[in-house]
Amino acid sequence: MTFTAQGLPPISNPLNSVLMEKKLINVDQKFFRLVSLAESLPRTEVLESGKNYWRGVCRSAIFRFPDDLEILKLDVRSYVDRSKGIIQIRSAARLGQSDLGVNLRRVEYLFNQLEKI
């Protein structure tokens, strides 16, 4: 696992990676929905899956460049209503200085699909 109590590690290069978080209601249900969406992405291999954390590798269509994708449901004990919480998604290219926006589009797609339910 590559996260701490504060969440996923920050991105080191904003040209080839993105980290987004959202405060959500029904956070458990939404976490499992995001995991399902991530696992259905083309050319995605699941590396780790747990009740609060998911990690996989997404590969590009032609050259099969690897991008690391992580989803984390944060344990937010300050909320009175336990159905509310925070989910972070981090997507980062392993190679190159720029990903031409692929990781940003991937994370936006996942959050946009989540809002459709």
Q: Read off the tokens for 98.
A: 């720029």
pTM: 0.92
pLDDT of residue 2: 66
Residue 114 confidence (pLDDT) above 90 = yes
Beta partners for 92? Answer: 17, 68
Quick check: 94 pLDDT over 70?
yes
Please tell me what DSSP assigns to residue 35: H
Please list the residues that pair with 87 across neighbouring strands: 22, 73
Lowest pLDDT segment from 22-31, 53-62, 79-88, 94-103? 79-88
62: exposed, middle or buried (Cβ count in 10 Å: 0-12, 13-18, 19+)? exposed
At residue 60, does pLDDT exceed 90? yes
Q: Thinking of the domain 17-115, which architecture would CATH place it in?
A: 2-Layer Sandwich (3.30)
**Domain ranges across the chain:** 17-115
